[in-house]
């Protein structure tokens, strides 16, 4: 991508340099005052247009073309270099000024931009090249006969004319033309081109047979330029300017003697001036056409807006004729355009003379707002509308009115309905006025009743507030009793509740009740029932001369109350929501013939209901406390499980001792925190806490196992059960979370898995080693024992075939072969299982094996062993012998040791066997990891043998410092020396 961009850049620079060079050589053909100064200099326009189109990065093309063109004049490098610098600075400055102040490459579409372009680029920037060129010519001594002023003016005019004739054509041809209409103009364009060529030939080409032209005709060039500017656009105008300028140069080249230098300067000034004027005129025409098209689009948009507006609109001329109406107006009245437009507006008004009235108002004031009228629809129905009108005038004369129509039929109907309602209300007000006096008479009673009701509600709310704030039950019942006594007009109230045995009542609240009466009530065997109010009413005449009460469970209470000065009493049972009778509320009065009113009964029942609520609430609170206490004792008594409650957002609410023991947090440290603090960073990144809450909420419970983090940062493996807790209406109330530390079980499982894997691996390796051992034994029997037997057979055959006197040689060889064969079989047997271990014991077997290995490998052996005091178990002796044998074999194969020490001692409560060498050693940790991966059966076998007898094996080694292998066998009853075995095993 970068390479292709570089190639395009190089191609553009090269093409610009070539165009500059070619046009410069053409311009230098007309140099008269100096080899370097010419009145026609096309490269300036090419350079300026190229930098405006390609950017300032194209300046090397300008510099290179200018340097080559000027160097070919007379070969002077210094003036050529300075002139090339001036030409490049001229193009860069002109492009920068045009981009900054004249709208860049689009400078020919507005007259102000064209003017800035002519001033900044055509006059300002060109002075840089003229000044630098004049200095360069002076430095090279190439003035000739012309003076400095003539050279500078020639240079400046040549560059300026090129900026006004060449650059516009290139810019306008390269930039996409902004066509503003006038399609199908090709014939006119051809006519313009032909006319321009004709004018150019006629004005600038001498030798025509028409006349001798003793006077100038340059002004004729204006006509095609005006035609191009007015009828076409900036691009065609620039083309016409270029054609006329080219014709002028052509005439100069073909009729050299007919034109003097001064006339050429005048012609260039003329061409530059008319070019500037033509381009400015074309820009003005283009801008006017653009503005005209914009206004036309705006007019179309406005027309479309008015035509499709939701508000009805129409125009009426001064004669009252409708001249335009939009769709909303036509839809409102149901007419087609041809049925509505062109008719008199009065034809659609239901009220005669309304149009004339509107026109008179408009004549006076210019606009009318909110004019109500009735218009007739096409179907004959009337629609109420609100008209907003203003007048359009020209020269003070009314041309037409603009009317905005709003349908107010619904509002009108609503106003009429409102009027009817108002009239009805007025009649009702009159009627109500007559009854106002009666209402006023009852108002005082109603106000008093309302105040009493408000006080009643306030007292009840205070009692309920006591319940909500957790006040003690006796205080609440006292408030209820006081409330009932106060509202009943001074009667005494007693709240009686069931006692613990359920058959007697106790006094729960009895403000102002005599103490003797209150103390005597619990002695009565009473139980409240639904017939309580009637049984407590006082006796009525006719029940008996002595006023005896009818038989009732509450008759005794009635007599007790009468004895204490309350012959009249009535009550209501206190009943729970489950229809359980909790007690009774009794009202007492000293008047014997007083009966409760309906208001008293309602008050009594209301107070009884509040008492029931208070008692049930206390029961519920007591039960909740008992349940919470039992739950707390249960949870806090669990030490092996972390039990906690979590709110729906995951914050810890409760915390038991088991949770503190397992996770390390005290209750005051963890309550209120999010339970995600127990998760590892890996689980937090995977959003495992949020996932656990979601699964528990969706499924009712969620169980998982994983690593958790304690307060101190340590980890433990946990089994977690999380259950969702929901309210009766199914709303999520939180979660119960139970956590068990199963790290030990996890470690045991890992160990069992590791042991199983190792056992499987060892089993596989054992089979491989067995097969390897079989092959080694077979190879040993074939390569050595087999060959010896074959030689022995051959000798015996030869002995049988030769005379007796010659058999001695073969028999001697056979005897030697038999001895060698016997040694081989004995060595093979000892390698498989040395009999010395069974016959003489561990110490003797170690001494024999180490000495045999030292003799084979050439190292010096230091052997030291304590007496065992008997024989060790055969599995212990075998394991120790094989570990020592493997260690000595590794010394022979890998260590390159000179000294090897083997000791077997009893140290404390264990036997300790050490094999140590001074060989090259190895990296013990990496070797052990290598062995653990199953890649070294020697070390694995040593570790497995030590583990089978409960011993520990330590391997210490570093490169260059030898190796030390220490086996410690703990002393157990099974490992103590066993007497009675051969004493040859005692070291």
Residue-wise pLDDT for 143-181, tens only, equals 666 677 788 888 888 888 888 888 898 888 887 655 544
Strands 568-575 and 581-589: antiparallel
CB-side neighbour CA atoms (13 Å) of 105: 17
Does a structural domain hold residue 35? yes
The H or E element that residue 2 is part of is helix 2-28
Q: What is the pLDDT of residue 92?
A: 94
pLDDT band at 375 (very low <50, low <70, confident <90, very high): confident
- Rounded average pLDDT over 859-863: 91
Are 166 and 17 within one domain? yes
In the predicted structure, residue 535 carries a pLDDT above the cut 60: no
d(CA 73, CA 683): 84
pLDDT band at 357 (very low <50, low <70, confident <90, very high): confident
Q: What is the pLDDT of residue 483?
A: 78
CB-side neighbour CA atoms (13 Å) of 793: 6
| CB contact at 8 A, 611 and 584 | no
Are 690 and 766 within one domain? no
- Rounded average pLDDT over 353-362: 78
Are 153 and 204 within one domain? no
Residue 723's CATH number:
3.30.450.20
| CB contact at 8 A, 18 and 243 | no
Q: What is the pLDDT of residue 260?
A: 59
Are 109 and 258 within one domain? no
From the list 890, 887, 874, 884, the residue with the least C-alpha distance to 837 is 874
Does a structural domain hold residue 607? yes
Q: What is the pLDDT of residue 212?
A: 46
In the predicted structure, residue 540 carries a pLDDT above the cut 60: no
Does a structural domain hold residue 47? yes
Q: Which of 135-149, 161-175, 307-321, 707-721 has the highest mean pLDDT?
A: 707-721
| CB contact at 8 A, 341 and 325 | yes
Strands 367-376 and 322-325: unpaired
In the predicted structure, residue 752 carries a pLDDT above the cut 80: no
* Residue carrying the six token digits 């963890």: 670
Strands 860-865 and 899-907: parallel
Q: How many CB atoms lie within 10 A of CB 320?
A: 16
Q: What is the pLDDT of residue 94?
A: 92
The H or E element that residue 800 is part of is helix 787-801
Q: What is the pLDDT of residue 979?
A: 39
Does a structural domain hold residue 451? no
Strands 732-741 and 860-865: unpaired
Q: What is the pLDDT of residue 141?
A: 66
d(CA 615, CA 582): 8
Are 814 and 734 within one domain? no
d(CA 504, CA 263): 144
Pick 511 or 23 by higher pLDDT.
23
pLDDT band at 215 (very low <50, low <70, confident <90, very high): low
In the predicted structure, residue 534 carries a pLDDT above the cut 60: no
Q: How many domains does the chain have?
A: 7
- Rounded average pLDDT over 476-480: 81
Q: How many CB atoms lie within 10 A of CB 862?
A: 12
Q: What is the pLDDT of residue 423?
A: 81
| CB contact at 8 A, 721 and 701 | yes
What are the angstrom distances between the C-alpha of 701 and each of 726, 738, 777? 12, 11, 65
Strands 505-509 and 492-498: antiparallel
Partnered with residue 570 across adjacent β-strands are 587
Q: Which two tokens stand for residue 40?
A: 């026609």
Domain end residue (candidates: 153, 176, 199): 176
Does a structural domain hold residue 474? yes
Q: What is the pLDDT of residue 93?
A: 93
What is the C-alpha radius of gyration for the chain, rounded to an integer number of angstroms? 63
Pick 883 or 625 by higher pLDDT.
883
Strands 312-317 and 322-325: antiparallel
pLDDT band at 960 (very low <50, low <70, confident <90, very high): confident
| CB contact at 8 A, 505 and 583 | yes
pLDDT band at 742 (very low <50, low <70, confident <90, very high): confident
Are 755 and 656 within one domain? no
Are 910 and 797 within one domain? no
Partnered with residue 703 across adjacent β-strands are 721
From the list 954, 889, 883, the residue with the least C-alpha distance to 924 is 954
Are 796 and 935 within one domain? no
- Classify residue 179 by its DSSP letter: -
In the predicted structure, residue 649 carries a pLDDT above the cut 80: yes
Pick 428 or 819 by higher pLDDT.
428
Q: What is the pLDDT of residue 272?
A: 78
Please report the DSSP string for 658-699 in residue order. HHHHHH---HHHHTTSBGGGGB-HHHHHTTHHHHHHHHHHHH
- Dump pLDDT digits (tens) for 588-617: 777 766 677 777 777 778 888 888 888 888
What does pLDDT average to over the chain?
A: 78
Does a structural domain hold residue 438? no
Sign of CA dihedral 602, 603, 608, 611: positive
Does a structural domain hold residue 84? yes
The H or E element that residue 532 is part of is helix 532-536
Q: Which two tokens stand for residue 668?
A: 């005051």
- Rounded average pLDDT over 809-813: 67
CB-side neighbour CA atoms (13 Å) of 450: 6
Distant-in-sequence, close-in-space partners of 35: CB < 8 Å, separation ≥ 6: 28, 73, 74, 142, 144
Q: What is the pLDDT of residue 210?
A: 40
d(CA 886, CA 831): 12
Domain extent for 942: 835-985
- Rounded average pLDDT over 937-950: 79
| CB contact at 8 A, 313 and 326 | yes
- Dump pLDDT digits (tens) for 7-21: 888 888 899 899 999
pLDDT band at 665 (very low <50, low <70, confident <90, very high): very high
CB-side neighbour CA atoms (13 Å) of 426: 5
Q: What is the pLDDT of residue 784?
A: 62
pLDDT band at 98 (very low <50, low <70, confident <90, very high): very high
Tell me the pTM. Answer: 0.39
Quote the strand ranges of 283-433, DSSP E. Answer: 312-317, 322-325, 367-376, 382-394, 397-407
Domain end residue (candidates: 623, 651, 673): 623
Partnered with residue 584 across adjacent β-strands are 496, 573
Does a structural domain hold residue 941? yes
Q: How many CB atoms lie within 10 A of CB 161?
A: 29
- Rounded average pLDDT over 36-59: 88
In the predicted structure, residue 184 carries a pLDDT above the cut 80: no
In the predicted structure, residue 769 carries a pLDDT above the cut 80: no
Provide φ and ψ at 806, rounded to 5°.
Answer: -95, 5
- Classify residue 29 by its DSSP letter: T
Pick 986 or 898 by higher pLDDT.
898
Partnered with residue 732 across adjacent β-strands are 726
Are 566 and 687 within one domain? no
Q: What is the pLDDT of residue 527?
A: 57
Are 213 and 137 within one domain? no
d(CA 241, CA 275): 6
Q: Which two tokens stand for residue 619?
A: 């029961």
d(CA 902, CA 884): 8
| CB contact at 8 A, 829 and 816 | no
Provide φ and ψ at 591, rounded to 5°.
Answer: -85, 130
Are 568 and 707 within one domain? no
In the predicted structure, residue 63 carries a pLDDT above the cut 80: yes
Are 501 and 532 within one domain? yes
- Rounded average pLDDT over 863-874: 81
Please report the DSSP string for 383-408 in residue order. EEEEEEEEEEEETTEEEEEEEEEEE-
Q: What is the pLDDT of residue 542?
A: 32
Domain end residue (candidates: 304, 319, 347): 304
Residue 104's CATH number:
1.10.1760
């Amino acid at each position: 991508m970068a390479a292709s961009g570089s190639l395009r850049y190089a191609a553009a620079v090269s093409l610009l340099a070539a165009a500059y060079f070619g046009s410069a050589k053409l311009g230098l053909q007309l140099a008269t005052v100096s080899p370097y100064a010419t009145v026609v200099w096309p490269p300036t326009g090419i350079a300026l247009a190229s930098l405006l189109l390609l950017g300032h990065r194209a300046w090397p093309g300008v510099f290179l073309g200018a340097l080559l063109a000027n160097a070919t004049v007379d070969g002077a490098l210094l003036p050529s270099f300075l002139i090339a610098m001036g030409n490049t600075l001229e193009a860069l400055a002109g492009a920068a000024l045009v981009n900054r102040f004249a709208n860049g490459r689009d400078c020919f579409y507005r007259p102000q931009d064209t003017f800035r372009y002519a001033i900044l680029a055509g006059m300002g920037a060109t002075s840089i090249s003229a000044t630098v060129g004049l200095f360069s010519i002076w430095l090279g001594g190439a003035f000739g006969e012309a003076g400095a002023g003539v050279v500078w003016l020639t240079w400046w005019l040549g560059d300026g004319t090129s900026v006004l004739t060449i650059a516009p054509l290139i810019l306008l041809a390269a930039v996409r033309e902004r066509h503003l209409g006038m399609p199908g103009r090709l014939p006119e364009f051809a006519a313009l081109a032909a006319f321009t060529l004709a004018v150019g030939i006629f004005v600038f080409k001498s030798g025509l047979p028409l006349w001798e032209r003793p006077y100038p005709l340059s002004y004729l060039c204006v006509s095609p330029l005006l035609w191009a500017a007015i009828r076409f656009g900036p691009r065609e105008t620039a083309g016409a300017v270029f054609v006329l300028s080219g014709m002028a140069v052509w005439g100069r080249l073909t009729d050299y003697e007919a034109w003097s230098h001064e006339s050429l300067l005048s012609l260039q000034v003329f061409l530059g001036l008319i070019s500037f004027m033509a381009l400015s005129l074309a820009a003005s025409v283009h801008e006017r056409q653009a503005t005209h098209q914009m206004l036309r689009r705006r007019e179309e948009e406005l027309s479309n807006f008015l035509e499709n507006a939701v508000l009805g609109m129409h125009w009426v001329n001064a004669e009252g004729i409708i001249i335009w109406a939009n769709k909303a107006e036509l839809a409102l009245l149901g007419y087609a355009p041809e049925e509505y437009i062109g008719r008199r507006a009065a034809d659609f008004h239901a009220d005669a003379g309304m149009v004339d009235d509107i026109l008179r108002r408009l004549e006076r004031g210019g606009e009318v707002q909110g004019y109500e009228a009735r218009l007739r629809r096409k179907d004959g129905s009337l629609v109420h509308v609100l008209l907003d009108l203003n007048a359009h005038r020209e020269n003070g004369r009314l041309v037409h009115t603009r009317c905005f129509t709003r349908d107010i039929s619904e509002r009108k109907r609503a106003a009429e309905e409102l009027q009817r309602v108002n009239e009805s209300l007025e009649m009702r007000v009159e009627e109500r006025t007559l009854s106002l006096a009666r209402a006023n008479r009852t108002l005082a009673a109603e106000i008093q009743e309302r105040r009493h009701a408000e006080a009643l509600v306030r007292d009840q709310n205070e009692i309920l507030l006591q319940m909500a704030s957790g006040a003690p039950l006796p205080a609440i019942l006292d408030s209820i009793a006081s409330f009932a006594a106060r509202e009943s007009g001074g009667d005494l109230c007693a709240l009686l509740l069931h006692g613990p045995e359920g058959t007697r009542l106790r006094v729960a609240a009895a403000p102002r009740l005599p103490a003797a009466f209150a103390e005597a009530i619990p002695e009565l065997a009473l139980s409240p029932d639904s017939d309580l109010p009637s049984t407590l009413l006082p006796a009525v005449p006719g029940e008996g001369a002595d006023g005896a009460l009818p038989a009732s469970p509450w008759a005794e209470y009635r007599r007790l109350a009468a004895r204490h000065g309350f012959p009249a009493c009535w009550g209501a049972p206190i009943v729970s929501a489950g229809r359980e009778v909790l007690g009774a509320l009794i009202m007492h009065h000293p008047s014997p013939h007083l009966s409760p009113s309906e208001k008293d009964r309602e008050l009594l029942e209301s107070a009884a209901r509040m008492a029931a609520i208070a008692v049930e609430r206390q029961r519920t609170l007591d039960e909740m406390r008992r349940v919470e206490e039992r739950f707390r004792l249960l949870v806090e008594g669990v030490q092996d499980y972390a039990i906690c409650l979590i709110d729906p957002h995951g914050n810890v609410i409760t915390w038991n001792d088991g949770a503190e023991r397992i996770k390390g947090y005290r209750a005051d440290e963890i309550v209120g925190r999010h339970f995600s603090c127990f998760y590892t960073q890996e689980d937090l990144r995977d959003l495992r806490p949020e996932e656990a809450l979601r699964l528990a909420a969706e499924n009712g419970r969620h169980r998982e196992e994983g690593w958790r983090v304690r307060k101190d940062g340590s980890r433990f493996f946990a089994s977690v059960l999380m259950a969702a807790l929901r309210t009766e209406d199914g709303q999520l109330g939180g979660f119960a979370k139970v956590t068990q530390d199963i790290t030990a079980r996890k470690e045991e499982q890992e160990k069992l898995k590791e042991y199983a894997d190792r056992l499987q691996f060892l089993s596989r390796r054992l089979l491989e080693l067995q097969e390897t051992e079989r092959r080694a034994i077979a190879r040993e029997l074939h390569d050595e024992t087999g060959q010896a037997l074959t030689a022995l057979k051959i000798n015996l055959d030869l002995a049988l075939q030769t005379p007796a006197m010659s058999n001695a040689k073969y028999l001697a060889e056979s005897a030697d072969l038999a001895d060698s064969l016997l040694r081989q079989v004995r060595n093979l047997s000892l390698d498989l299982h040395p009999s010395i271990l069974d016959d003489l014991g561990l110490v003797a077997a170690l001494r024999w094996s180490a000495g045999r290995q030292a003799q084979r490998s050439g190292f010096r052996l230091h052997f030291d062993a304590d007496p065992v005091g008997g024989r060790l178990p055969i599995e212990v002796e075998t394991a120790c012998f094989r570990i020592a044998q493997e260690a000595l074999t590794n010394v022979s194969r890998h260590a390159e040791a000179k000294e090897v020490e083997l000791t077997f001692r009893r140290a404390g409560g264990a036997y300790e066997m050490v094999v140590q060498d001074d060989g090259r050693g190895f990296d013990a940790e990496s070797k052990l990891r290598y062995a653990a991966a199953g890649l070294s059966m020697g070390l694995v076998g040593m570790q497995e043998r030590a583990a089978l007898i409960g011993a520990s094996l330590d391997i210490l080694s570093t490169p260059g410092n030898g190796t030390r292998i220490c086996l410690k066998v703990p002393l157990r009853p099974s490992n103590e020396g066993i007497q009675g075995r051969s004493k040859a095993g005692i070291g």
